[in-house]
Amino acid sequence: MVLRVDAEAFLQHFGARLPAPYGFYLASRWGDYLAHPERGKAFGFDRGQRVLVQEEFVDTVPLLSGAAREKVFTHSIAPDVAQMQAFIRMPLGMRDDGRFLLLGLSHSVSAVLAEAQELGGTIVKMITVLALVAALLAAWVSRVVTGPLRAMVQAIAAFSRGQPHGALPVERRDELGELARGFRDMEAQIGQQMDELNRSRDAMAHLAHHDPLTGLPNRRMFEQRLGQALDRARRSSRPCALVFVDLDDFKSVNDKLGHAVGDAVLQAAAQAIVGAVRQVDTVARLAGDEFTVLCENVDTDDAARRVLDKLREAFATPLQVDGQPMVVRASMGISVYPMDGEDARTLLASADAAMYRAKEQRTTW
């Protein structure tokens, strides 16, 4: 199953709306660019290429490995042209699940120095005349600029931890407002995409271990639980029982009544088996009309016999198939650890053989 989330257009739009000359970078935990000032380097894996942040910026390697959380460095893009680069490792979802993104911003060093020199010259010329104005301006900047920036930083930190955050200055009509609105939209998009990915992952994990028709554990999960049960039985020296259940003449049901009715019979049989055993027992559908029941801590022969008696009683009365009563017979065989086998393969073979003997004799063992 392939789930494609196309965020390329959104990330390009977000990067384009940053105030010049800022550059916006976003990379996956493997280093593949999701956003880059040069559009051709973003989503290179969709074109069969691997454009990696660690190859362009070696200083980001500690961020990918987890040795560092943030990095600020200079990078030369030409002999006389350098940029300031700031990258941060931004976890996603739960704190310890290992998912993260690399978020980066770049700014021309010459632009930074030019702005600093211009500001310094202005301050030198006006310092004696505008001392009071400078104080008032500092107070205004603290309230109008520093406050929103601090709110943005806190919001990014909270988002990286998967926690709620305070209001963003989205109502502003300046660059900070644009940045806040872009972050808000990006947060909503990423949150929605992560929810969809988690739902798809959970659904795939369930399908990998359960029978889609009856909802019972499939062969893979049953073999895992059987192995775990045998380990516990060896440690505790308490026997466990394995019951093999096979529906009689099920092929004729499919041939005469159709596969839809056959599916309904399998579902009704699964419900009958589950209702006849303990909640702690494992009922699984191996294949076709074959079911197994794993019962732990079956200490006596009478306890094993009671398991079969309850299963026999479940099929003694007609099953409800699509709201109609239908007589369904089943043959059963049982094997007990360690008397009938000390490993999973032997126990399954013993129970299967006992079931076939019961089918031939039309009796339940």
The full set of domains in the chain, from first to last, is 8-207 (3.30.450.20), 219-361 (3.30.70.270)
pLDDT at residue 242 tops 60: yes
- How far apart CA 281 and CA 297 sit, in angstroms, is 10
Give dist(CA 150, CA 169) in Å, integer. 11
- Confidence class for position 12, pLDDT limits 50, 70, 90: low
- Rounded to whole angstroms, the Cα distance separating 41 from 53 reads 10
- In the prediction, which pLDDT does 282 show? 92
**What b/e sequence results for 245-268 when a residue is b if at least 16 CB atoms lie within 10 Å of its CB, and e otherwise?**
bbbbebeebbeeeeeebbebbbbb
Q: What is the pLDDT of residue 365?
A: 41
Q: How confident is the model at residue 292 (pLDDT cuts 50, 70, 90)?
A: very high
pLDDT in tens, 313-334: 999 888 888 888 888 899 999 9
Q: What is the pLDDT of residue 39?
A: 83
Q: With a cut of 60, say whether residue 2 has pLDDT above it.
A: no
Name the pLDDT band for 190 (thresholds 50, 70, 90).
Answer: confident
| Gap between the Cα atoms of 250 and 319, Å rounded | 14
Q: Which of 151, 153, 167, 181 is nearest to 17 (CA)?
A: 181
Is the N-terminal amide bond of 21 cis, ω within 30° of 0? yes
At 331, the amino acid letter reads: S
CA distance linking residue 291 with residue 285, whole number of Å: 4
Average pLDDT of the chain is 82
Residue 106 has what pLDDT?
87
At residue 350 the predicted structure's pLDDT band, cuts being 50, 70 and 90, is very high
pLDDT digits 0-9 by tens, 48-89: 888 898 888 989 999 888 899 999 988 887 777 788 889 999
Over residues 13-22, the pLDDT tens digits come to 665 667 767 8
Gap between the Cα atoms of 297 and 240, Å rounded: 5
Cis amide bond preceding 338, omega within 30: yes
- Phi, psi angles (nearest 5°) of residue 173: -105, 15
For the beta sheet containing 33-35, the strands, ordered from the edge strand earlier in sequence to the opposite edge, are 33-35, 23-27, 100-108, 81-91, 70-78
| Residues 6 or more apart in contact with residue 213 via CB below 8 angstroms | 263, 266, 267, 285
